[in-house]
Structure 1
Amino acid sequence: MYGYDDFGLFIGGGWRAASARGTRQVVDPATEEVIGRVPDATDDDIDAALVAAAAGFATWRRVQPWDRSARLRRVGDLIRERIEPYALLMSMETGKPLGESRGEWRATADQFEWYAEETKRIYGQTIEARESDVRMAVIHQPVGVVAAFSAWNFPALLPARKIAAALGAGCAVIVKPAGEAPGSAMAIVQACADAGMPEGAVNLVTGDSRRISARLIASPVVRKVSLTGSVPVGREILRLAATHVKKVTMELGGHAPVLVFADADVERAAELCAATKFRNCGQVCISPSRFYVEEGAYDAFARRFVATAEALRPGPYTEEQASVGPLANRRGLENARAMVSDALEHGAELLAGGDQPAGFNRGFFFAPTVLGRVPDAARIMVEEPFGPVAPLTSFSSFDEGMARANALPFGLAGYVFTRSLATAARASEALEVGMVGVNDTMLATAEAPFGGIKESGMGREGGALGIRDYLEPKYVKTRLL
Structure 2
Amino acid sequence: MDTARQFAIDDSKANHEIMTNLDDVKLLRNLAYINGKWVSGAHFRPVFNPANNEIIGYFTQLAASQVSSAIDSAEHAFTAWRQLQADQRGDYLRKWQQLILAAKHDLARLMVLEQGKTLAEAVGEIEYGASFIGWFAEEARRSYGETIPSHIAHAQLFAVREPIGVAGLITPWNFPSAMITRKAAAAMAMGCSVVVKPASETPFSALALAELADRAGIPPGVFNVVTADAKTVANVFCQSDKVKALSFTGSTPIGKQLLRDAADTVKKCSMELGGNAPFIVLPDMDVQQAAQAAAEAKFQTSGQDCLAANRIFVPQNHFHEFVEHFATQVNNQVVGNGLQADCTIGPLVNHSAVEKAQSLLNDALIKGATIVAQANLPPNTQTDGCFFPPTLLVGVKPEMAVYREENFCPIAIVMPYADLEQVITMSNDTEYGLAAYVYGHDIHQIWQCLRGLAFGMVSVNSVKMTGHPIPFGGIKQSGLGREGSKHGLEEFSEIKYCCLGNLPTVSGS
TM range (shorter): over 0.9
User: For 1:158-169, what aligned pairs fall within 5 Å after superposition?
Assistant: 158-169=179-190
Percent identity, aligned pairs only, is: 35
CA apart distance, 1:355: 8.4
Determine the structure 2 residue equivalent to 1:218. 239
Corresponding pairs, count: 479
Counterpart secondary structure, 1:25: strand
Determine the structure 1 residue equivalent to 2:5. none
User: For 1:66-465, what aligned pairs fall within 5 Å after superposition?
Assistant: 66-131=87-152, 133-353=154-374, 358-361=379-382, 362-465=384-487
Distance in 2 between residues matched to 1:232 and 1:310, nearest whole Å: 34
Give 2:337's aligned amino acid: P
* Contact in 1 for aligned 2:43/2:61 (Cα 8 Å): yes
CA deviations 1:206-245 (Å, max 9, x no partner) are 1110111111221111000000000111011011111221
2:495 maps to 1:473: yes
In our comparison, the structure showing a higher alpha carbon Rg is 2
CA deviations 1:121-176 (Å, max 9, x no partner) are 10000011135621000000001000000000000011111110100110000000
Structure 2: runs of 5+ lacking an equivalent: 1-21, 504-509
CA deviations 1:420-467 (Å, max 9, x no partner) are 101111111111110001111211111111110111101000111111
Distance in 2 between residues matched to 1:340 and 1:43, nearest whole Å: 39
Match of residue 60, structure 1, among 60, 81, 97: 81
Counterpart secondary structure, 1:336: helix
Give 1:112's aligned amino acid: I
Give 1:8's aligned amino acid: L
Distance in 2 between residues matched to 1:359 and 1:35, nearest whole Å: 19
Counterpart secondary structure, 2:83: coil
Give 2:480's aligned amino acid: M
- Structure-2 change in CA distance of 1:478 and 1:131 (3 Å): same
Give 2:499's aligned amino acid: K
**TM-score, normalised on structure 1?**
0.97
* Contact in 2 for aligned 1:340/1:354 (Cα 8 Å): no
CA deviations 1:59-87 (Å, max 9, x no partner) are 21111111111111111111100011111
Give 2:385's aligned amino acid: G
Give 1:12's aligned amino acid: N
Give 2:190's aligned amino acid: A
More displaced stretch, 189-198 vs 24-33: 189-198
Determine the structure 2 residue equivalent to 1:51. 72
Distance in 1 between residues matched to 2:28 and 2:501, nearest whole Å: 59
CA apart distance, 1:357: 5.2
Distance in 2 between residues matched to 1:4 and 1:75, nearest whole Å: 14
More displaced stretch, 240-249 vs 3-12: 3-12
Give 1:271's aligned amino acid: Q
CA apart distance, 1:7: 3.8
CA apart distance, 1:14: 1.2
- Structure-2 change in CA distance of 1:372 and 1:354 (3 Å): farther
**TM-score, normalised on structure 2?**
0.92
Determine the structure 1 residue equivalent to 2:11. none
Counterpart secondary structure, 1:278: helix
CA apart distance, 1:286: 0.9
CA apart distance, 1:373: 2.6
* Contact in 1 for aligned 2:176/2:199 (Cα 8 Å): yes
* Contact in 2 for aligned 1:12/1:199 (Cα 8 Å): yes
Match of residue 9, structure 1, among 22, 32, 38: 32
Counterpart secondary structure, 2:387: coil
Counterpart secondary structure, 1:236: helix
CA apart distance, 1:354: 7.5
More displaced stretch, 332-341 vs 148-157: 332-341
- Structure-2 change in CA distance of 1:148 and 1:323 (3 Å): same
* Contact in 1 for aligned 2:29/2:207 (Cα 8 Å): no
Counterpart secondary structure, 2:337: coil
CA apart distance, 1:480: 1.6
Counterpart secondary structure, 1:61: helix
Structure 1: runs of 5+ lacking an equivalent: none
Distance in 1 between residues matched to 2:426 and 2:390, nearest whole Å: 25
